[in-house]
Chain A
Amino acid sequence: MTPTPSSSSHRLPRLSLERRLTSPWWLSWVIPIASVALALLAGALIIASQGVNPWEAYRAMFEGAFGTGYGVAETLVKAIPLMLAGLGVSVAFRMKLWNIGAEGQLWMGAWAAAGVGLFLYPAWNLPPWLAILLMMAAAVVAGGLWGAIPGVLKGVLQVNEIITSLMLNYVAISWVLYFVDILWRDPGGLGFPNTAPLDKAIWLPKLTWIPFLPKGHRVHAGLLIAILAAVFIWFLLNRTKWGYEVRVIGENPEAARHAGMPIVRNIILVMILSGALAGLAGMAEMAGVAHRLQRGLSPGYGYTAIIVAWLAKLNPFGVLLVAVLFGGLLVAGDQIQLTMNLPRSISDILQGLILFFVLGGEIFGRYRLRLR
Chain B
Amino acid sequence: MNTPTARQPDIAVEMRDIVKRFPGVVANDHVTFIALRGEIHALLGENGAGKSTLMNVLSGLYTPEEGEIFINGEKVVFHSPRDAIAAGVGMVHQHFRLVPTLTVIENVILGLDDPKFRLKLEGARAKIQSLSEQYGLKIDPDAFIWQLSVGEQQRVEIIKALYRGAQILILDEPTAVLTPQETEELFRTLRSMAEKGHTIIFISHKLDEVMAIADRVTVLRQGKVVATVAIDEVNKEKLAEMMVGRPVIFRIEKPEIEPGEEVLRVEDLHVRNDKGLPALQGVSFVVREHEIVGVAGVSGNGQTELAEALYGLRPVEKGRIFLYGRDITQASTRDIIREGVAQIPEDRHREGSVGNMGISENLIMKHYRRSPVSRGPLIDWGYVRDFARKLVKRFNIAAPSIHTKARLLSGGNLQKLILARELSSEPGLIIAMHPTQGLDVGATESVRKQLLEEREKGAGILLISEDLDEVMQLSDRILVIYEGQIMGETPGEGADRNEIGLMMAGENRSGTGDTSLQRNTSNA
Chain A interface (Cβ within 8 Å of chain B)? 1-5, 8-9, 11, 16, 18, 21-22, 239-242, 244, 247-248, 251-252, 254-255, 257-262, 370, 372
- Interface secondary structure of A, over-half rule: mixed
A5 lies within 8 A of B357 (CB): no
17 pairs from A and B in contact (CB 8 Å cutoff): A2-B167, A5-B165, A11-B113, A18-B79, A21-B56, A239-B379, A240-B378, A241-B374, A241-B379, A244-B368, A252-B353, A255-B353, A257-B351, A259-B337, A260-B335, A260-B366, A372-B82
Q: Which residues of B contact A3 (CB under 8 A)?
A: 164-165
A258 lies within 8 A of B351 (CB): yes
Q: Which of B164, B334, B350, B361 contacts A260 (CB 8 A)?
A: B334
Q: Which residues of B contact A248 (CB under 8 A)?
A: 354, 357, 361, 365
Q: Which of A11, A21, A252, A370 contacts B61 (CB 8 A)?
A: A21
Q: Which residue on B lies nearest to A262, using beta carbons?
A: B334
Q: Which residue on A lies nearest to B62, using beta carbons?
A: A21
Q: How far is the CB of A362 from chain B (nearest CB, A)?
A: 15
A252 to B365, CA, bound (A): 12
Q: Which residue on A lies nearest to B357, using beta carbons?
A: A251
16 new A-B pairs (CB below 8 Å) besides A240-B377, A258-B345? A1-B130, A2-B165, A5-B85, A5-B87, A21-B56, A22-B23, A239-B378, A241-B374, A242-B377, A252-B353, A252-B355, A255-B350, A259-B366, A260-B332, A260-B366, A372-B79
Q: Which residues of A contact B88 (CB under 8 A)?
A: 5
Chain B interface (Cβ within 8 Å of chain A)? 22-23, 56, 61-62, 79-80, 82, 85-88, 113, 130, 164-165, 167, 311-313, 332-337, 343, 345, 350-357, 361, 364-366, 368-369, 374, 377-379, 381
Q: Which residues of A contact B22 (CB under 8 A)?
A: 22
B369 lies within 8 A of A241 (CB): yes
A8 lies within 8 A of B164 (CB): no
Q: How far is the CB of B306 from chain A (nearest CB, A)?
A: 15
Q: Which residues of B contact A241 (CB under 8 A)?
A: 368-369, 374, 377-379
A372 to B83, CA, bound (A): 10
A251 lies within 8 A of B345 (CB): no
A354 to B62, CA, bound (A): 33
Q: How far is the CB of A36 from chain B (nearest CB, A)?
A: 25
Q: Which residue on A lies nearest to B381, using beta carbons?
A: A239
A303 to B483, CA, bound (A): 53
Q: Which residues of A contact B381 (CB under 8 A)?
A: 239
A241 to B82, CA, bound (A): 45
Q: Which of B79, B337, B345, B356 contacts A370 (CB 8 A)?
A: B79
Q: Which residues of B contact A254 (CB under 8 A)?
A: 350-351
A260 lies within 8 A of B336 (CB): yes
Q: Which residue on A lies nearest to B56, using beta carbons?
A: A21
Q: How far is the CB of A263 from chain B (nearest CB, A)?
A: 10
Q: Which of A18, A242, A255, A261 contacts B351 (CB 8 A)?
A: A255
B377 lies within 8 A of A255 (CB): no
Q: Which residue on B lies nearest to A5, using beta carbons?
A: B86
A3, A8, A244, A257: residue with the most chain B Cβ atoms closer than 10 Å: A244
Q: Which residues of B contact A8 (CB under 8 A)?
A: 86, 113
A255 lies within 8 A of B337 (CB): no
Q: Which residue on A lies nearest to B87, using beta carbons?
A: A5
Q: Which of A5, A22, A247, A252 contacts B350 (CB 8 A)?
A: A252
Q: How far is the CB of B74 from chain A (nearest CB, A)?
A: 12
Q: Which residues of A contact B332 (CB under 8 A)?
A: 260
Q: Which residue on A lies nearest to B86, using beta carbons?
A: A5
B379 lies within 8 A of A240 (CB): yes
A1, A251, A258: residue with the most chain B Cβ atoms closer than 10 Å: A258
Q: Which residues of A contact B353 (CB under 8 A)?
A: 252, 255
6 closest pairs, A vs B, by CB? Answer: A260-B334, A3-B165, A260-B333, A5-B86, A259-B365, A252-B354
Q: Which residue on B lies nearest to A239, using beta carbons?
A: B378
